[in-house]
Structure 1
Amino acid sequence: MPRMPSARQRGFGLAVSALTLTGCAHLVAPAPETTALCETDEVRITTGFVGAGHHGCAISTLGPVLTVWPEASIAGPINPSPWYAFEADIRSSKQIRLQLDYAGYWHRYHPWVSRDGGERWQQLPSEAVSVGEDDHIATLTLPAGPGHLLVAAQPVMTPKDMAEWSRTLASEYKLDLINYGESLDGRPLEALTAGPETARHIVFAITGQHPPEQSGVEAFKVFAETLMRTLPEDTRADTRIILLPLTNPDGLARGNWRHNNGGVDTNRDWLDQSQPAIKAATAFIRNEAEGRTTVAFMDFHSTQQTLVYTPPLEEDLADMNFPRALKQAFDAGIDPDPEWISGHNADSGTSKNWALQTLDVAALTVELADDAPQAEVIKVGEIAARTVISALTGSSGKED
């Protein structure tokens, strides 16, 4: 596996948007009988909540040392998205020092903390985090207690949070919320839909394949709200909108880095469709696309920097007008310009490649930086929505 650079975040980075705050209040502090990972006179570490990380714990002379483990994998090493989330019951009036040990992986996410069970979050100040020269060990200095403190790589979201966001959006903009299948763990798979069955054009946007990639989820939310708020009525009359807000609910609930509970990266399963969630998604999308022109297909993710994966812009594998227009809009509206990485691997099981081969659409994977400022997250979502509307407006008078 190639070495991935760490993404050490400084300052407060991505602020939690109003949409996120609406849906991050469902974490319940572990009951007193919850088994501790480790315990000293000063702190007790537990992981008894939805979205907690995979951890072990030992006590060193410096304090607790938490291992940061990936979930099980059946297809080789997991891409380094080293999620951690735990609760520290701090009993001391002194600051608590602990370490995160990533073993063969590297520190990527600057820690967030919450004192109220996950309703409000803020990042630890930069001076409270030090990372070893090889990036395998991160030392955290937690605020003094007493009190419960949630510590996580990103503000923890749960499937229930995403479901509530979906219901709020559906209510405000009169979308239909439908169940299109079940995950491996039996969780419902939901989609938001709008537009008449007679519509000739269709737009797809999805997110939530990789649990820690929350800046991408936030950009998706901005995209969805902007699109529904500003799409002209006459264009809506001939357009279907399909939004999939959480395509890997099992991974999110289990605190996984990348995979579902089947040990599979769902964004490598779109060709094989071995996992129930992806099999259901592909069947649902194909059914909705049947007889319509797919104007845009976007999958929102996060990585170390904001960028876009696209089919080759210089080739005509499909109608490339939308990707070219979006690149022009991003270059004009986002500073620095997002990198565009073009290519097509017909054997790769990503949503982008599946959509190109199945729907004949130049699908895009939109990646937000892990630590993208809120202003950048908003710009990406808004610009993407406006570019989709421009593409739909240009298509509305054309015969298919």
Structure 2
Amino acid sequence: MFLSTAVFGCDFEQVSFSDALPMGRMGQCEQTADGRYQLTLEPENTSINPSPWYHFGVTSNQSDSIPVTLAVNGYLPRYLPKYSSDGIHWQSLPFDTADNKVMFDVPGVAGKMVYVAGQHPIGNQDYIEWQKALARTHNELEFIVLGKSKQGKDIHAFTRHQADNNEWLVVLGRQHPPEITGAQALLDFSEEILQESPLSHRFFNRFNVLWIPNINPDGVAAGNWRHTSEDQDLNRDWNKFTQVESRLVKEKLKAITDKGGKIVFSVDFHSTYYDVFYTMPEGYELAPKNLTSSWLKDLQDYTNGIFKVTIKPGSNPDNGVYKQFIADTYKVPAITYEVGDNTPREKVRYIATAAAKTLMTSMLSYAPEEYHYVE
């Protein structure tokens, strides 16, 4: 039996494993008595969700399939296995479960690495390339760096704004690194808002937008499930601000309001087991009072028969959740947009596009005086 706790990989007689990849993570590895290769994943935060991220490469000197078992120390893995032969095109792997483990066979390609992950990875470089592509087609965008992460990585942001506009929508993403379907939704949502149309023209004649698509680049690079490089959950830090990443966003929002800008709405993208929108409760002192419910009703009407809008209101003043911070600081609506782990890619795109269109319409339906602000 071979047992390794190596960070970057482990080698067997015919097979090698490596997590020296963007978002790489695979935990301990061993070959069990039945000839399977078992990877034991370590959760970061069992009190919230015990299932960690995984992304690794497998290289074999034969073309036989490679039997792999994922174990999470008594917990079931959350993310179902997918594989790719080129790191670009991904497909699901058939799998089975037993004793809180997931078993699957990875197609072998002699001498060539095959990639396995819980989701199609979207790494830090992917955001940089996305922003470069936006810059080529949208010269009205301003690209900025909010500052450095704890490990010195740039935290990128970009805006579309006009000097005469003082109302700001804030779009935030990637507090939790492996929440890939939420990351995909943010890209689709943003591209729809930026799409040239009569609606977007009217929207940008009144509103500015600040995008921070990847707030946790350290966690993304390390393949963390929820945490920053300091083992902290960013979406529990918006009251204490112990992390440089959350402080940088807070400082940017303050810089906007110090210059007379008004934060009017914010959307924070995540993934969970199913599609759901976490909102502030009805009756919470926010203005406009019914903006969130109006938007989600419009989204339900738009997607009727294809998508059911599920809403879960909640207020947790002491938990340090981002939407709570926005609501309590600026007295305006904020929402956590959660996408199901296994929501099909085309459905993610369809819902995000519909959400962008209906949000723009809903925000425009309220006059500026209907937004009340904390001065």
Contact 1:355 1:361 (C-alpha < 8 Å) held by counterparts: yes
Unaligned runs of 5+ in 2: 1-5
- Find the aligned partners of 1:235 and 1:66 in 2 and give their Cα distance: 49
Does residue 17 of structure 2 align to residue 51 of structure 1?
A: no
Does residue 314 of structure 2 align to residue 349 of structure 1?
A: no
- Find the aligned partners of 2:215 and 2:359 in 1 and give their Cα distance: 22
- Find the aligned partners of 2:222 and 2:52 in 1 and give their Cα distance: 13
Find the residue that maps to 1:58 and give its secondary structure: strand
Does residue 69 of structure 2 align to residue 105 of structure 1?
A: no
Aligned counterpart in structure 1 of residue 125 of structure 2, from 160, 163, 182: 160
- Find the aligned partners of 1:70 and 1:315 in 2 and give their Cα distance: 35
Give the TM-score, by structure 1 length: 0.84
- Find the aligned partners of 1:322 and 1:170 in 2 and give their Cα distance: 31
Letter in 2 for 1:114: S
Contact 1:38 1:59 (C-alpha < 8 Å) held by counterparts: no
2:61 is aligned to 91
Find the residue that maps to 1:285 and give its secondary structure: helix
1:387–1:35 Cα change, 3 Å: closer
Task: Report how far residue 375 of structure 1 moved.
Answer: 3.0
1:366–1:169 Cα change, 3 Å: same
1:199 is aligned to 165
Task: Report how far residue 362 of structure 1 moved.
Answer: 1.3
Contact 1:167 1:177 (C-alpha < 8 Å) held by counterparts: no
2:190 is aligned to 224
Q: CA RMSD in A?
A: 2.1
Give the TM-score, by structure 2 length: 0.89
The one of the two structures with greater contact order (alpha-carbon pairs below 8 A, sep at least 6) is 1
- Find the aligned partners of 2:107 and 2:257 in 1 and give their Cα distance: 52
Contact 1:70 1:256 (C-alpha < 8 Å) held by counterparts: no
Task: Report how far residue 81 of structure 1 moved.
Answer: 4.0
Larger mean Cα displacement after TM superposition, 318-327 or 44-53: 318-327
Contact 1:162 1:246 (C-alpha < 8 Å) held by counterparts: yes
- Find the aligned partners of 1:35 and 1:327 in 2 and give their Cα distance: 44
Matches within 5 A, 1:1-400: 37-61=9-33, 62-71=35-44, 77=47, 79-116=49-86, 118-124=87-93, 126=94, 129-132=95-98, 134=99, 136-146=100-110, 147-174=112-139, 175-229=141-195, 230=197, 231-290=199-258, 291-332=260-301, 333=303, 335-395=306-366
State how many pairs are aligned: 358
Summarize deviations over 1:231-284 as a string: whole Å, max 9, x none: 443442332111111011100000001000111000110111100011001111
Letter in 2 for 1:246: N
Contact 1:299 1:352 (C-alpha < 8 Å) held by counterparts: yes
Contact 1:295 1:391 (C-alpha < 8 Å) held by counterparts: no
Contact 1:307 1:366 (C-alpha < 8 Å) held by counterparts: yes
Find the residue that maps to 1:267 and give its secondary structure: helix
Contact 1:202 1:292 (C-alpha < 8 Å) held by counterparts: yes
